[in-house]
């Protein structure tokens, strides 16, 4: 175990989900105080208790990422309690399958609200804090579908244009935030997962379709949540001290661009 983040405070949105929990655990294992922010407080609290039994530092917060008042309240509370914020991981997302012409305005707004607006609101709150303290790290979680247009593999397209649009926007937002944050020591990057075991996208596919993915992934397997977590931890660490505005693909080689 390395203590790369000893004394660091990290907020992870949707930090008790499949990938989010792995990110929270990876940061905590490396010494960070992992603040698990989730709309479902009980799930977040269970994760925090599990971490505590392992001797790790974690705390749960109820936070709806689409509610500015709630987001600002939690960030303020974190500063009052711990005096700083070093890392923000924007992991909160919604996913659904729907042919483009059948996406309702309500569903479009719902996906964009959580995925894009949630990233915006949390990042904006973090920016204020990080500017005052002279720096920090923001890592957004995107998806390789942002650049594949929804093509999961050759011959396998799944309709989720609203999700694709939200993730493409997150990658553009990452670059814009990086430019504005750089003079203040704020580094902003994104991790773009490919097919990951038990994530929302893979769960939407039949076992047969999931199995059919394996031959077209150069590394010949689905990714693991902890592999996304390790990429996030790298970008959050001093080992990435000269990296900003980067979209880091973690996809087994299924998308090369």
Q: What domains does the chain contain, in order, with CATH numbers?
A: 9-250 (3.40.50.720)
Cβ neighbours of residue 72 under 8 Å, at least 6 residues apart? 125
pLDDT of residue 86: 98
How many CB atoms lie under 10 A from the CB of residue 102?
8
Residue 250 has pLDDT above 60, yes or no: yes
| Mean pLDDT of all residues in 195-221 | 82
| Mean pLDDT of all residues in 1-14 | 91
Helix 68-82, helix 118-133: angle, nearest 10: 30
Chain-centre distance for alpha carbon 13? 7
Q: Could you read off the pLDDT of 103-129 as tens digits, one per residue?
A: 999 999 999 999 999 999 999 999 999
pLDDT of residue 208: 81
Question: Is position 157 annotated as part of the catalytic site?
Answer: no
Mean model confidence pLDDT for the chain: 94
Report in angstroms the alpha-carbon separations of 155 from 141, 168, 180, 186, 256: 26, 22, 40, 41, 17
> What does the CA dihedral 17, 57, 231, 177 come to, rounded to 10 degrees?
90
**Residue 219 in tokens:** 């590394």
Q: State which H helix or E strand residue 250 sits in.
A: strand 247-250
Cβ neighbours of residue 129 under 8 Å, at least 6 residues apart? 75, 79, 84, 85, 136
pLDDT of residue 177: 98
pLDDT of residue 204: 73
pLDDT band at 10; cut points 50, 70, 90: very high
């Amino acid at each position: 175990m390395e203590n790369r983040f000893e004394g660091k405070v990290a907020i992870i949105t949707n930090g008790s989900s499949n990938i989010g929990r792995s990110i929270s655990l990876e940061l905590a294992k490396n010494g960070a105080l992992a603040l698990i922010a989730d709309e479902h407080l009980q799930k977040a609290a269970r994760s925090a208790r599990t971490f505590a039994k392992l001797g790790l530092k974690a705390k749960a917060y109820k936070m709806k990422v689409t509610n500015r008042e709630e987001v600002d309240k939690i960030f303020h509370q974190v500063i009052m309690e711990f005096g700083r914020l070093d890392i923000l991981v924007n992991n909160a997302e919604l996913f659904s399958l729907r042919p483009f012409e059948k996406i309702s305005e309500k569903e479009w707004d719902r996906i964009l609200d959580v995925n894009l607006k949630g990233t915006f609101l949390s990042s904006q709150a973090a920016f204020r804090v990080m500017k005052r303290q002279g720096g920090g790290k923001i890592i957004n979680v995107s998806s390789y579908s942002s650049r594949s247009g929804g093509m999961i593999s050759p011959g396998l397209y799944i309709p989720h244009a609203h999700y694709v649009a939200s993730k493409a926007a997150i990658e553009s937002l990452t670059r814009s935030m990086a430019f504005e944050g750089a003079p203040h020591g704020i580094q902003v990057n994104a991790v773009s997962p490919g097919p990951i075991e038990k994530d929302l996208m893979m769960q939407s596919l039949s076992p047969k379709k999931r199995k059919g993915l394996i031959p077209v992934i150069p590394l010949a397997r689905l990714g693991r949540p902890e592999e996304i977590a390790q990429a996030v931890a790298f970008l959050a660490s001093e080992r990435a001290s000269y990296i900003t505005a980067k979209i880091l693909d973690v996809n087994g080689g299924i998308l090369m661009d």
